[in-house]
Amino acid sequence: MANNTTPKTALIVYAHHEPKSFNAALRDTAVDALKKSGYTVEISDLYAQRFDPRATKDDFTGSLSNPDHLEYHLEAKHAYQTSTMCAETKAEVDKVRRAHVIVFQFPMYWFSVPAILKGWFDKVLVAGFAFQFPNDIHDNGLMKGKKAIISMTTGGTETMFTDRGVHGDIDIVLWPIQYGTLRFCGFEVMKPHITFCPAYSPKIKRKELLTEWSKRLQGLHKETPQSFISIKNFDPEKWLVMREEYIQGEANKDIASSIGHHLGKRLPSGK
């Protein structure tokens, strides 16, 4: 829990181009709420910073470990370990290192994050810093102990993002980000905060949405992270396939452990 005697840092990674957008209002609300909770708040305003999402050899200031063939993930790890990351990436890595809580604020683009935020994931959450495969992932990921929360806006209504809606269950949509990226690196992934269709909401409703976001962040320390299957239940000698004893232990349960590991069962609602 953040308080005045235990200073903590929150990072808001913000990916929207328009200063007058509702995403900007959600960002500003988060800044205010987190400060009231005792956090020092840093912001990575990716558009304002002109963050370059492209992964190229220009991201490394030292000699490549293999100059004949660029394998970006290997060179990124090498650059982190040899302190030869470019200044732009190093600044973001340092922000993540300081942060106890990271809020990702963005509009949904094509069922995913904006390209500029995807580039941030690619260039900042690198091997050696955020994870180390295969031992330091998921429960043991190098971001262990840090909270991460998605705050996202959509163009569609909430009913569109249900298992009966045209877009399908929002938890399935977010699985690659929440599990495949954040949990993979060890973050405690909090329940996402989704603002559905703010562009078509009346002014009074938008004000209520901001108030809800503020209250949630001020009570974030009371929340329990989302539950995912422990990495201990996957066998490293079988290329991290689920252990048979775990499967047998789940056999009599009607509902799956997660949407990604459903074992042919009904999916958890997550709601």
Domain ranges of the chain: 8-228, 229-271
Tokens of 127: 């091997």
Apex 118 CA angle, 152 and 7, nearest 5: 65
Contact in structure between 59 and 86 (CB atoms under 8 Å) = yes
H helices present in 163-202, as ranges:
170-177
Tokens of 11: 């990072």
Q: Which CA distances in Å does 42 have to 86, 104, 245? A: 20, 12, 44
**C-alpha 44: how far from its chain's center?**
14
pLDDT above 70 covers a percentage of the chain that reads 97
Mean pLDDT of the chain: 94
φ, ψ of residue 193 to 5 degrees: the values are -110, 110
Where residue 271 falls among pLDDT bands split at 50, 70, 90? very low
Burial 42-62 (b: 16+ CB within 10 A, else e): bbbbbeeeebbbebeeebbee
Statement: residue 2 has pLDDT above 60: no
Global confidence as pTM: 0.94
Distance CA 182, CA 37 (A): 24
Where residue 3 falls among pLDDT bands split at 50, 70, 90? very low
Looking at domain 8-228, its CATH superfamily turns out to be: Flavodoxin domain (3.40.50.360)
